[in-house]
Amino acid sequence: MDIGKFKVKVSEKYKDQMFYYLRKQGFGIKKFSDSRRAKLKTAEQVRSYQKQIKKAFTCGLNEEIYREKVVSDNKTGTLRKDGYVIEKVVLTTDKGVKITTNIYKPENIKGKLPAILFLCGHSFEGKAFDDYQKVETELVRAGFIVLAVDAIGKGERFTYYNKDKKDYDIEGCIFEHAYFGAKAAMTGKWVYNYFMRDMLLALSYLASMPEVDADRIGVTGNSGGGTQTSYMMLMQDERLKAFAPATFITDYMTFYDTKNTQDDEQIVPGIIGAGFSYPDIIVSVAPKPVMLLGVNKDFFPIEGMADAYLKALEVYKIFGKKENLTLAIDHSEHRYTVGLAKCVAKFFVEHLMGKTDYENENYDYPLEKWETLNCYESGQISLEGAVLPDAEIKDYYLKNRSYDLEKARKMLKDYIYKGRERNALTAVKPRAYDYNCGDMNVRAYFNESVMGIKELVCVYSGKDTDDGAKTMMYFADGGNFSVEQNPSLIEKYIKDGYKVVVTDLTNYGYLAPEKEGDWGVYDSFGRNYYYAHHFFFRGDCYAAFKSFEILSVIDFTEKNIGKVEKIYAGGLVQENLACALFAEKSRIPVCFKGDGITMEKIITERFYNDKDIRSVIYPGLALVSDFDVMKSTLNCVKE
Predicted confidence (pLDDT) per residue in 95-151, tens digit = 999 999 999 999 999 999 999 999 999 999 999 999 999 999 999 999 999 999 999
Cβ-contact 212, 115 below 8 angstroms: yes
Superfamily covering domain 40-399: Alpha/Beta hydrolase fold, catalytic domain (3.40.50.1820)
Q: At what angle do helices 192-208 and 224-235 cross, to 10 degrees?
A: 70
Please provide residue 222's backbone torsions phi and psi, each rounded to the nearest 5 degrees: -125, 160
Greatest Cα pair distance in the chain: 94
341-396 pLDDT, tens digit per residue, is 999 999 999 999 999 999 888 878 899 999 999 999 999 999 999 999 999 999 99
Q: CB within 8 A of 605, min separation 6: which ones? A: none
Measured CA to CA, the distance from residue 453 to residue 457 in angstroms comes to 13
- In terms of Cα–Cα distance, which of 462, 197, 459, 244 is closest to 345? 244
pLDDT of residue 425: 60
Helix (H) or strand (E) holding 290: strand 290-297
- In terms of Cα–Cα distance, which of 340, 149, 260 is closest to 519? 260
The model's pTM: 0.95
219 burial level (CB within 10 Å; 0-12, 13-18, 19+): buried
CATH class entry, domain 3-26+404-631 = alpha beta
Percent of the chain residues topping a pLDDT of 70:
99
Domains 3-26+404-631 and 40-399 share a fold: yes
pLDDT category of residue 428 using cuts at 50, 70 and 90: low
pLDDT category of residue 212 using cuts at 50, 70 and 90: very high
Q: How far is CA 620 from the centre of its chain?
A: 15
What residue spans define the domains of the chain? 3-26+404-631, 40-399
Measured CA to CA, the distance from residue 220 to residue 146 in angstroms comes to 10
pLDDT category of residue 40 using cuts at 50, 70 and 90: very high
Measured CA to CA, the distance from residue 614 to residue 531 in angstroms comes to 9
C-alpha to C-alpha distances, 530 to 19, 150, 314, 453, 508, nearest whole angstrom: 10, 26, 32, 17, 15
Lowest mean pLDDT among 11-15, 110-114, 464-468, 589-593: 464-468
Number of H helices, E strands in the chain: 22, 18
Measured CA to CA, the distance from residue 47 to residue 319 in angstroms comes to 11
Cβ-contact 510, 480 below 8 angstroms: yes
Cβ-contact 298, 247 below 8 angstroms: yes
pLDDT of residue 594: 86
As a whole number of Å, the CA-based R_g of the chain is 27
Q: At what angle do helices 43-58 and 224-235 cross, to 10 degrees?
A: 120
Helix (H) or strand (E) holding 458: strand 453-461
pLDDT of residue 441: 92
Helix, strand or coil, per DSSP, at residue 496:
coil
pLDDT of residue 381: 97
C-alpha to C-alpha distances, 293 to 337, 345, 453, 524, nearest whole angstrom: 10, 12, 39, 29
For all residues of the chain together, what is the average pLDDT? Answer: 95
Measured CA to CA, the distance from residue 578 to residue 383 in angstroms comes to 41
Measured CA to CA, the distance from residue 237 to residue 240 in angstroms comes to 6
List, as one string, the DSSP characters of 291-308: EEEEEEE-SS-HHHHHHH
